[in-house]
Structures are given as structure tokens and as C-alpha cells.
Structure 1
Amino acid sequence: MKKLKLNAALLALLVCTGVYAQNDGIPVTSMSRLRGLGGDASQFDQQSKLQYNQMLSEAHKKDAVATDRNPQLIRLRAIAKRLIPFTARWNPDAAKWQWEVNLLNSPTVNAFCMPGGRIAFYNGILTKLNLTDDEVAMVMGHEIAHALREHAREQAGKNTVTSVGARILGAVGSAYFGVDPRVGDAAAGMAAQGLALKYSRGDETEADLVGMDLAARAGFDPRAGIALWQKMGSVNKSQPLPFLSTHPSGKDRINEMNKNMHLVLPVYAKAKGLDPAALPAYHSLALPRS
């Protein structure tokens, strides 16, 4: 298990020189105050670390963790190393995270980043989608964004609020309309679930945009995000993907990315030393034949 460490002095220098204070790219917004209802941040991080290590331990027992010499893992860590210097723009605490990247030898099409910068990819997402480095950066940037914006802790806080609010609503409805309280509880549960799904969609949109911003600053083409989700949609028609069970796809998602593309393309061009008005077209790789 290898951790990716970034020199703290370098991160401080980047902050002081304004790398994270630039007004270009996707605008940085304040994070939700509901995170506070999701528990203490340090405790949340420790729980996540424990879960991540337990997952790796179980995977090691099945010989399902790629070694440090695995070409795909080397590739993933190289991409992460380019993205990490720009994470503190979205969450200053990321400068202190002990980042690590691991690859699980599984055909599953999935990837995630837990709080504290603990990243894992399943081999299936790389091979079944035939991802370019730019597309890997978009997946990784998206998952890192969830951790940076503390969506897990925010979601826990939102679930607390919606659950309590829905139960109150159910109790009031039961008393007012004279229905069985158990029916009110069931309706309250359905309402809470609906609200949680709505929040999740908002988090996914934010993760898409933050991921695009991270990738562009690191010199990865943000237009790869469009190709990525088109691939996801094509493969998902024939075999439902676990990745999409928590990452809803569709035209709205791609449209939102396209709407914000004008903000990140100049950032990408600057990172590559190119003229924003004369960027070459993005070329993806074809999906493997089934």
C-alpha cells in the first residue's frame, strides 16, 4: 500500500502565489453547513480510513490488489500525482491528506475516493471502457471531488434532517387525518428517500464540475468527460454498471458539463501552453468489442 505524499512547503507556495485563488475555471463555492450534522470531521475520517483498510485487507486475502509494479496502477498513481496539487483550491484540508491510490483486480466497472484522499479503482473500469488518460483523470477527478466537498458527511447530515423532518410530517399527517401511524411512518420514509436522491443528484453535478476543473488544471482535456459519459451510457445499455447506480447518467448530465466547458477549456489550454482558440479536437478510444 503506497501513499502519495506532496511536499507541504510546495502546497503552501502554490496557495501563496495564487494558484488556488484564481478566478478562472469553475467558481469555488462554500460547502454546505449540513456537514456539521454528519458528525465530527476527524472522526468521520478515521471511520473512512478503517473501512478502506478493511476493504484492502479482504481484497489482499483474495489476491485482488495490484502490486506496485502493475502498469495500470503506475498509470493511476501518475495521474493522481498531477491532480493532487490542485485539490486544496476546493478544500484547504486536502493539503494535509495522506493520499493513496490502489487498484483492485476485478472486472467491476467502478472507482471511488473516500474522505482523506483514499482512492481505489477496479480494473474493469479501465479495460471495459478502454479509457484514455484524460478519461481516467475525469473519473478520478469526479471521485476526488466527492471527498474534497465532503459529500459523504454532508449527505449524512442531510439524511438526519430529512429523516427527522419526514417523521414529524408523518406524525402530524397521521394525527390530522386520523390514519394509522405506521402508514404515516412509511410515507415519511418514502419522502425522506426522495429528498436524499435529490441531494445526491446535486452532489453528482458538483462532482462532475469540480472534477473537470481539477483535470483541466492538471493538463487533462476536460472534453474527455463528455466522451466518458457517452461510453458509460453505451456500455450500460447492455450490462448495467455498478458505477452508474450511484452516478446517474443521461443527457442532462452531459448538457451541464457542456454548459460549463467554456470555463475550463482556457484553463486546460493554459496548462498545456496552447491557444484556447485553436485547441485540437478531442479523440477518444473505441470501446472494446464484446
Structure 2
Amino acid sequence: MTCLLAACATSPTGRRQLMLVSEQTAIQSSAQAYVQEVGKLKQEGKLSDDPAVVERVRRITGRLVSQALVMRPDAADWKWSVAVIDDPDTVNAWCMAGGRMAIYTGLIEKLQPTDDELAQVMGHEIAHALANHTAEKMSVAMASGLGVAAVGVASDNKGIAMTGAAAAAALAVTLPNSRAAETEADRIGIELAARAGYDPDAAVSLWQKMNRESGSGVPQFLSTHPNPQNRQQKLAALGPEMARYYVQPGDRPIYPVITESAVR
């Protein structure tokens, strides 16, 4: 029983999580995986060189991160960064442990999101990091045997094999989120966006666009983000509660997020 308890944690919404991997290990391994992936994308010329797109992503993400730090002040120590990946065919975005994010130009070009809708996407992804979902998915992969070959990450020892840990973090990005984790990220993400000054009603219109896009083939986003039929209804029900954050007066500060792109 002691071992089982030691492998459990509690999310920001009070949900019990399986944690065989510590958050710090997930952050370290995610950083390595992110740097390797961004470096590869730079060499291949697959980072966006559109200054308007890059600035838009930077501004929206910066406002969201400022509110994320209010929710989790310890996240100020994270190296918040976002890669704008030039891939017009991929409708996707993600956020690793420690605030390492990416968004694909295909999501912007195919969905044509408003700023409010784009904020819902990035707020949802940031919520995954705040709720420690990377470490949770790495833990589930270990427990199920999916990540055994890649992972020696249950320990926080300095001698940890970071190559295997980075592979496990990269694997976690591609694994589907649980329904519970998705509901949690929806709840945290819509609040982040509202506090940052983005209309919570956009969460519903975003998923309407996502569902229309899925009619021509399943977007990559839906391979890692389950799409239950009642998602729009649940988000719509949260709207009145979130409206009070949205209408609050005052400036919405922009955190200086590092933007990974081809723009100089």
C-alpha cells in the first residue's frame, strides 16, 4: 500500500494521478527532447518565417503564461517557449512539462481561429503542463510497458540516462490524453484564457471548427486529444462562470515567452 501511495499525486482539480516519474524529471527530459526537436526543425527549414504569425502566437501565449504563473507561481522557474512549426497540413499544438510548447501553422491556416479561439488552444496546452500531464503520461507508459525500452526515469539521480528520458518525454507528446486529463485541461485552459482577457465562448466555437475539420480526416490534434460528444456542452456550461474573469478590468500583462521560429 505504501508503494501505491508513493506513486500517486493529486492534480490541481483534485484528481488522483499515477506518478512513477517526478515532475522535475519530466521537465528535464522534456527540455532535452524539445531542444533536439527544435534544432532538427531549424536545420530542415520547418520553423515559420512569417513575422505576423510568430508575433501573434507570442502575444497570445505571453498573456496566457502570465495568468498561468498566478495559478502556479513556481512555474516562473520554467523556461517558457513556443515553436511555430511551418507545416500547413498538420492541425496540432502541444505543451511539454516545463512550458515547452509548439503550434503548427496548419492549425492556424485550416481553422482560421480568432485570437480568442487561438487562446483556447494554447490555454488548453498550457493547462496540460500546469497539471503535470507529461509526467502522468510517461508514468502510464512505464506502467503499461510502452515506455520501458525508452525509460530509466523513475529515479531522480543525477546519473539518469537522459537520452532514454528524452525519448519518453517525446513519446508522451504523441500518446493520447485520458478523458480525465482532457476534461481537466479544458477546465484550466478556459479559465486561463478568460483571465488573460479572451472570450470563453470561443472555446465552443473552436471545437465547432475542429469538428468540421475532422470531417475531411482526423486532425493530428484529435489523435492525442479525445473528442467526446459532450465536450462543447461542457465548455458552454463553464462559460457563465468564466465570464467574470473575462470582464475583469485591468491590464493583461504579456510574459516574455521565447519564440522558436525562423524570424530574425
In 1, distance between residues paired with 2:15 and 2:74? 13
In 2, distance between residues paired with 1:52 and 1:71? 24
What is the letter of the counterpart of residue 57 of structure 1? G
Q: Secondary structure of the equivalent of 2:178?
A: helix
In 2, distance between residues paired with 1:211 and 1:243? 16
1:261 — aligned with what?
A: 239
In 1, distance between residues paired with 2:203 and 2:18? 29
Q: Secondary structure of the equivalent of 1:260?
A: helix
Q: Is the 8 A contact 2:96 2:129 kept in 1?
A: yes
1:159–1:106 CA distance, 2 compared to 1 (3 A): closer
Aligned: 1:201 with 2:179: yes
Q: Secondary structure of the equivalent of 1:131?
A: coil
2:77 to 89, 92, 96: 96
In 1, distance between residues paired with 2:234 and 2:250? 24
What is the letter of the counterpart of residue 69 of structure 2? A
1:49 — aligned with what?
A: 31
1:173 — aligned with what?
A: none
1:254–1:112 CA distance, 2 compared to 1 (3 A): same
Mapping of residues 124-273 of structure 1, within 5 Å: 124-160=106-142, 200-271=178-249
1:51-76 deviation digits (Å, cap 9, x = unpaired): 11111111112111124x62101100
1:202–1:31 CA distance, 2 compared to 1 (3 A): closer
In 1, distance between residues paired with 2:65 and 2:106? 24
What is the letter of the counterpart of residue 211 of structure 1? G
Q: Which has the higher contact order (CA 8 A, sep 6+)?
A: 2
Moved over 2 A (4+): 28-35, 40-43, 88-93, 155-163
Q: What percentage of aligned pairs have identical amino acids?
A: 39
1:272–1:244 CA distance, 2 compared to 1 (3 A): farther
Q: Is the 8 A contact 1:83 1:214 kept in 2?
A: yes
What is the letter of the counterpart of residue 74 of structure 1? E
Q: Offset at 1:269?
A: 1.4
Q: Is the 8 A contact 1:98 1:116 kept in 2?
A: yes
CA root-mean-square deviation? 2.4
What is the letter of the counterpart of residue 203 of structure 2? G
Q: Offset at 1:272?
A: 7.2
Aligned: 1:34 with 2:18: yes
Q: Offset at 1:83?
A: 0.9
Q: Offset at 1:228?
A: 0.4
In 1, distance between residues paired with 2:143 and 2:42? 38
Q: Offset at 1:32?
A: 3.7
1:97–1:209 CA distance, 2 compared to 1 (3 A): same
In 1, distance between residues paired with 2:23 and 2:226? 27
Gaps of 5+ in 2: 1-11, 146-174, 252-264
Q: Is the 8 A contact 2:54 2:84 kept in 1?
A: yes
In 2, distance between residues paired with 1:271 and 1:255? 28
1:244-274 deviation digits (Å, cap 9, x = unpaired): 111122431111112222210111112479x
The count of residues paired between Structure 1 and Structure 2 equals 212
What is the letter of the counterpart of residue 247 of structure 1? H
Q: Is the 8 A contact 2:64 2:196 kept in 1?
A: yes
Q: Secondary structure of the equivalent of 1:119?
A: strand
In 1, distance between residues paired with 2:219 and 2:111? 11
1:71 — aligned with what?
A: 52
In 1, distance between residues paired with 2:249 and 2:236? 20
Q: Secondary structure of the equivalent of 2:13?
A: coil
What is the letter of the counterpart of residue 206 of structure 2? L
Q: Secondary structure of the equivalent of 2:87?
A: coil
What is the letter of the counterpart of residue 151 of structure 1? H
In 2, distance between residues paired with 1:99 and 1:32? 26
Q: Secondary structure of the equivalent of 1:80?
A: helix
In 2, distance between residues paired with 1:248 and 1:122? 19
